[in-house]
Amino acid sequence: MSFLSLENVLKTFNKTEVVKKLTLEIQKGELMSFLGPSGCGKTTTLNMIAGFLDVDGGKIKVDGKPVHLTPPNKREMGMVFQNYALFPHMTVFNNVAYGLKLRKVGKSELNKRVLEALEMVRLSGYEKRYPKELSGGQQQRVSLARALVIKPKVLLLDEPLSNLDAKLRQEMREEIVDIQKKVGITTIFVTHDQEEALAISDRIAVMYEGRIEQVDTPAEIYNHPKTDFVSQFIGEVNQIQGKVLEIYEDNKCKMHFFGHEQIVSVNSKKNSEVDFFIRPEKIQISLVDPSDRNAGFPTKVERKMFLGAKTRYILKAQDKQLVADISNTVLNPNQIHEGNNVFAIWNPEDLLPSRKVR
Ligand code: ATP
């Protein structure tokens, strides 16, 4: 059974449904990210789980018990906000101790737990400092210690790293995962940063316009997106169009792309047009026509961009632009020049068919 569940959770603002009957199950100890563009309803959903917003329909359960009518301070959830939300006039110690004092925890137990929580976030020795005497990363660690010290059942993180610079963000996200796994706490991490979600999550719920488009592991989301939105939102994709020339058994079709043919697995009808997505790193290039004539599509190199470990080639195939990212250990970029005619090669299994029907 799941530890945290949302059943048809609904939220309406000014007659507009911003969270549309959302259903989701999160396992005990799991780190689930809510990922989606601005305005898709991530924070609203998190605030309903925390109890800062009432649900307009549906149920939220923790450990099998409904909590959606329980006041926030009784839900046993720890929350970390983007802007840290520390009390500026309190020391680090008192910020972390706040929730324990509210719960009337005795002095020696309180002392022990605050010091343990600060040690966990590597801030031992900072007890007497005030928030303004700390860096952004340190303030966020205090905020994490404050959330965890009450031993909540669920940890809710709302864009906790957005105010930090890129390098610190990466360090902090690793630290958060380490702590989350050590404590074994069921966690929801809200972010609009796909790389962050892919890096840290056990599973990701991709949200769009108040709905969940797909819930899966990072690798499944990336390799097997179930909707066009997920294909385009996660990672980068080229969109190419093909025409179905022949239908074979087992959903195999002979497709026509850029003047060449390829056998592809797709469920379609003869003569229909099908859009496909293909990731830039799934396209290879060759100066010579590959021996399997079905596999190479004639293109011209319009631009070449050296990106360190890989090179990005902008190709023109008829009037269509294709982006190919190729590791410099696989292809020496000095062999290819702008203006070269090259063959673009891809494995038909790497084509992700669009769900749009024409
Ligand atoms: P972001 O990444 O920008 O924080 P989000 O995915 O967290 O976006 P929400 O903040 O949940 O999105 O907002 C979802 C929708 O609900 C948006 O269209 C927003 O304008 C609207 N909304 C949120 N809070 C309120 C409110 N208190 N009153 C009216 N509309 C609101």
Q: Is the CB of 39 under 6 A from ligand 1?
A: yes
Q: What does the block give as tokens for 233?
A: 């939102």
Q: Is 192 in the pocket of ligand 1 (CB under 6 A)?
A: yes
Contact 317, 297 (CB under 8 A): yes
pLDDT confidence of residue 291: 66
Mean pLDDT within 172-187 = 94
- The residue whose CB lies within 8 Å of the most ligand 1 atoms, and thus the one to mutate among 11, 15, 20, 44, is 44
Higher pLDDT: 181 or 290? It is 181
Res 334 pLDDT > 60: yes
Q: Taking CA 199 as the corner, what is the angle to CA 195 and CA 202, rounded to the nearest 5 degrees?
A: 125
CB 44 within 8 A of CB 28: no
- In ligand 1, the atom with minimum distance to the C-alpha of 192 is 2
Choice among 224-228, 300-304, 324-328 with the minimum mean pLDDT: 224-228
Residue 270 has pLDDT above 90, yes or no: no
333: pLDDT confidence band, cut at 50, 70 and 90?
very high
User: Considering only CA atoms, which residue is closest to atom 28 of ligand 1?
Assistant: 13
pLDDT value for 357: 52
| Distance, CA of 7 to CA of 24 (rounded, Å) | 7
Q: Is the CB of 225 under 6 A from ligand 1?
A: no
Identify each DSSP E strand in the chain by its residue range. 4-13, 16-26, 31-35, 57-62, 65-66, 77-80, 154-158, 186-191, 203-208, 211-216, 238-247, 252-257, 260-265, 273-278, 284-286, 296-306, 310-317, 320-327, 341-345, 352-353
3-state secondary structure 327-338: ECCCCCHHHCCC
SS3 138: helix
Which residue's CA is the nearest one to ligand 1's atom 3? 38
**50 close to 190: Cβ distance less than 8 angstroms:** no
Angle at 219 between CA 356 and CA 188, to 5 degrees: 100
CB atoms within 10 A of CB 62: 21
Bridge-based pairing state of the strands 203-208 and 31-35: parallel
- With a 6 Å cutoff on the Cβ, whether 67 touches ligand 1 is no
21 Cα to the center of ligand 1, angstroms: 16
Ligand 1 centroid, distance to 321 Cα (angstroms): 35
Q: Whose CA is nearest to atom 2 of ligand 1?
A: 38
Is the model's pLDDT at 321 over the cut of 90?
A: yes
Per residue in 75-134, pLDDT tens? 999 999 988 889 999 999 999 999 999 999 999 999 999 999 999 999 999 999 999 999
CA-based nearest residue to 293, from 240, 348, 345? 345
Model confidence, pTM: 0.89
The Cα–Cα gap between 261 and 192 comes to 38
Q: Tell me what percent of the residues of the chain surpass a pLDDT of 70.
A: 98
Is the CB of residue 52 below 6 angstroms from any atom belonging to ligand 1?
no
From the CA of 11, give the closest atom in ligand 1.
16
Rounded Cα distance, 355 and 195, in Å:
24
Q: What is the CA radius of gyration of the chain?
A: 25
What are the structure tokens assigned to 317, written together? 């195939």
292 has pLDDT over 90: no
| Domain architecture of the chain: domains with CATH | 4-233 (3.40.50.300), 238-353 (2.40.50.100)
Q: Which residue would you say has higher pLDDT here, 249 or 37? A: 37
d(CA 106, CA 198): 41
Note the pLDDT of residue 132: 94
Ligand 1 centroid from CA 39, angstroms: 5
Averaged pLDDT for residues 231-242: 92
Closest ligand 1 atom, residue 19 Cα: 14
Tokens 């797709």 correspond to: 266
Tell me if 53 CB under 6 Å of ligand 1: no
DSSP string, 180-219: HHHHT-EEEEEES-HHHHHHH-SEEEEEETTEEEEEE-HH
Confidence category of residue 290, pLDDT binned at 50, 70, 90: confident
Q: Whose CA is nearest to atom 19 of ligand 1?
A: 39
Cα–Cα dist 302/322, whole Å? 10
Q: How far apart are CA 123 and CA 217, in angstroms?
A: 32
Residue 322 pLDDT exceeds 80:
yes
**Span 331-345, mean pLDDT?**
94
The contacts of residue 334 (CB under 8 Å, 6+ apart) are none
Tell the residue nearest (CA) to atom 11 of ligand 1.
Answer: 41
- The phi, psi pair for 276, rounded to 5°, reads -125, 155
Coil vs helix vs strand at 177: helix
Mean residue pLDDT across the chain: 92
Closest CA to 298 of 241, 245, 345, 254: 345
Q: Which of 62-71, 183-192, 292-301, 335-344 is predicted least confidently?
A: 292-301
Predicted pLDDT of residue 285: 93
With 70 as the cut, is the pLDDT of residue 141 above it? yes
ipTM: 0.96
What are 189-232's pLDDT values in tens digits?
999 999 999 999 999 999 999 999 999 999 999 999 999 999 99
Closest-CA residue, ligand 1 atom 20, reads: 39
State the closest ligand 1 atom to the C-alpha of 41, by its place in the atom list counted from 1: 11
Q: Is the shortest distance between the CB of 210 and ligand 1 below 6 Å? A: no
3-state secondary structure of 42: helix
Give the mutation target among 9, 42, 55 for probing the ligand 1 site: most ligand atoms within 8 A of CB.
Answer: 42
pLDDT for the residue numbered 107:
93
Count of residues for the chain?
358
Ligand 1 close to Cβ of residue 353 (< 6 A): no
Nearest atom within ligand 1 for CA of residue 40: 6
